[in-house]
Chains A and B, each alone.
Chain A
């Protein structure tokens, strides 16, 4: 498990540049993920890795291709100081876990081993032994994630058919 750490305002244009949006296939998007900010990312990322961002992660375009690309790379979750709101809801809607926790962002560095508990919101830097508490999701949002995404949650409620 590796940690990839980036700064503030990681925008969706660098997460997945617009020149690749003409092919929305998830694996194709994943193969170009982070290309304009970290050309080595797509070639080295492995399932279970964690992405750390600063403030306003995922700002810019509403393209759902961005969280989809990161998710398809096998990234376990994104931890950031804050998320741009469309990225935030897109991640929730596709059932991809994200955690807002400024202290964890400051306390985790590339090379650290990190474990996360989505139920409790506890993030543990196993390298340093430090633990951090992310704000838990509201029950409504947890419901979406537990159903694997918004459409499944709506179907389970019987409002989409």
Chain B
């Protein structure tokens, strides 16, 4: 029986010729990641266990992105804990305000993830780097502490669902619509403990930013990881970012998949997820007209340059509707600069949106856009759970940057094709 792409990477990381689904292995890690919420807990555990040194200061990334620039005293104290630890252990990839970005946009941008690598991050959306053909998965703070100390992590080798993509996306349809559609098909635990392996002719037509968005939300289907094959677009993205050798793994022709899900990209409509689960999906056509008070365009899911271009193309020369607050958050400093150079930030500001420094802020109800009682938001983020962005009475609709921007102009859920 052949191995999936994920299984091959895990076998390589564990120094084994083959692995099979269900097997427990210990893998060598290429990167251990944490943020300003999860890293302090990892540092506490690291110190409590009496650990003294990190396995490789060049293979650890600490990115202060969740509550930064710090929203309150306690958050500032947590960032200070991270800062001190990074200095003490000479952490090479420590990103503070001014250099930081939303971690899952920043890590690929800085070349810290490459095909074939095994990566853990104390943040559930670490699965994003599967877009580059890496095995990357979210873990908790104790795993991060163990990873920092040993460079190792234990894994149960996952089985996989094959997601066969065909066709090309229509205008105003993007990676967000693909992953929301998939989660709607298989459910929030449809890929529990499994890999989502994306294959098929449709892959070639997907831009890297769309692939990042798709892998980013693999966790919202319960998946351990999402992964794309390495192709010319991947190699072009890696050019100038990753100078170390990397290896592209491919699934065996006889790899076992527990099921195959086929999606014809050309048939997808702009798709939204209604409260309170990412699987509660509807084509935009069925929910058009629902009013919202806030629009958020950004996050590790949709704060990349392609996302901002798609939102700006809709907002340019128009005005955000009265009674709507539109918040745009470029995910990294480089994306911020690129968006500025292209005039996108001026488009947003002239339309009546605000543009924030990179932060996870509103996605988790932290800061920079917390909702009030009974308010509705449409957001390009990844979770619409109860209370995620504000009080338990507030509600979140998940959508693409194009749908979010169109909705900002009208104040009600809107198909971008109708703007």
Question: Which residues of A are in contact with B by a Cβ distance under 8 Å?
Answer: 9, 11, 13-14, 17-19, 21-24, 36-37, 55-56, 59-65, 68, 82, 84-86, 89-90, 93-94, 138, 140-141, 149-152, 154-155, 159-161
Query: A82–B141 contact, CB under 8 A?
Result: no
**Interface presence of B122 (CB below 8 A):** yes
Q: Is the CB of A59 within 8 A of B222?
A: yes
With a cutoff of 8 Å between Cβ atoms, the chain B residues found around residue A140 in the complex are 24, 154
Q: Determine if B200 is an interface residue (Cβ-Cβ < 8 Å).
A: no
B 12-42 to A, binary, CB cutoff 8 A, 1 in contact else 0:
0000000000001000000000000110110
Q: Does B74 lie at the interface of the complex (its beta carbon under 8 Å from any beta carbon of A)?
A: yes
Question: Smallest Cβ distance from A133 to chain B, in angstroms?
Answer: 19
Chain A residue numbers with a CB within 8 Å of B222 are 56, 59, 84-85
- A89 CB contacts on chain B under 8 angstroms: 139-140, 143, 154
Do the beta carbons of B140 and A18 come within 8 Å of each other?
A: no
- Distance between Cα atoms of A74 and B150 in the complex (Å): 31
Is A61 within 8 A of B364, CB to CB? Answer: yes
Answer whether residue B322 sits at the interface, using C-beta atoms and an 8 A cutoff.
no
A22 lies within 8 A of B189 (CB): no
* Least CB separation from B193: chain A residue: A85
The complex places the Cα of A69 from the Cα of B124 at a distance, in Å, of: 18
| Known A19-B365, A59-B222, A161-B51: A24·B189 in contact at CB below 8 Å | no
- Residue B386 at the chain A interface, CB threshold 8 Å: yes
Answer yes or no: B104 CB below 8 A from chain A CBs.
no
Contact flag A161-B52 (CB < 8 Å), given A13-B383, A82-B189, A86-B139: yes
- B-side residues, CB < 8 A to A, are 24, 37-38, 40-41, 44-46, 48-53, 67, 71-72, 74-75, 78, 121-124, 126, 138-143, 145-146, 149-150, 152, 154, 188-189, 192-193, 219, 222, 224, 277, 364-366, 383, 385-388, 392
Q: Say yes or no: A150-B146 contact (C-beta < 8 A), given A11-B385, A138-B24.
A: yes
**Quick check: A64 and B140 within 8 Å, CB to CB?**
yes
A90 touches B142 (CB 8 A): yes
Contacts A86-B140, A160-B149 given; indicate if A63 touches B24 (C-beta within 8 A). Answer: no
Known: A37-B386, A61-B124, A160-B49; 20 extra A-B contacts, CB below 8 A, are A9-B188, A13-B383, A14-B387, A17-B365, A19-B366, A55-B189, A56-B188, A59-B222, A60-B124, A64-B38, A84-B222, A86-B124, A89-B140, A151-B48, A151-B49, A151-B51, A154-B146, A155-B49, A160-B149, A161-B149
* Bound-state Cα–Cα, A93 to B177, Å: 35
Partner pick for A22 among B75, B154, B386, CB 8 A cutoff: B75
For residue A64, which residues in chain B have a CB less than 8 angstroms away from its CB? 38, 41, 122, 140-142
State in angstroms the CA–CA spacing of A104 and B155 once bound together.
Answer: 27
**Interface residue from B53, B142, B189 paired with A93 (Cβ < 8 Å):** B142
B150-A160 in contact (CB<8A)? yes
Q: Would A13 and B385 count as touching, CB distance under 8 A?
A: yes
**Which chain A residue shows the least CB distance to B35?**
A62
A15 to B37, CA, bound (A): 16
List 20 A-B pairs, Cβ < 8 Å. Answer: A11-B386, A18-B366, A18-B388, A22-B72, A22-B75, A24-B41, A36-B392, A56-B189, A59-B222, A60-B124, A62-B126, A63-B140, A64-B141, A85-B193, A86-B139, A89-B139, A154-B146, A159-B152, A160-B51, A161-B52
Closest to A21 in B: B37
Q: How far is the CA of A90 from the CA of B143 in the complex (A)?
A: 8
CA distance A52 to B277 in the complex (A): 20
The answer on a CB contact under 8 Å between A9 and B140 is no
CA distance A19 to B394 in the complex (A): 15
For A149, the chain B residues whose CB sits under 8 A away are: 142
CA A36 to CA B277, docked complex, whole Å:
15
Q: How far is it, in angstroms, between the C-alpha of A65 and the C-alpha of B78 when the chains are bound?
A: 14
The complex places the Cα of A18 from the Cα of B371 at a distance, in Å, of: 13
Distance of B19 from chain A, by nearest CB (Å): 14
Q: How far is the CA of A9 from the CA of B387 in the complex (A)?
A: 14
Q: Which of A56, A60, A93, A138 contacts B385 (CB 8 A)?
A: A60
Task: Tell me how far the C-beta of A12 lies from the nearest C-beta in chain B, rounded to whole angstroms.
Answer: 9
Q: A14 CA to B387 CA in the complex, in Å?
A: 7
Using CB atoms, name the residue of chain B closest to A153. B146
Q: Which of A24, A55, A62 contacts B122, CB < 8 Å?
A: A62
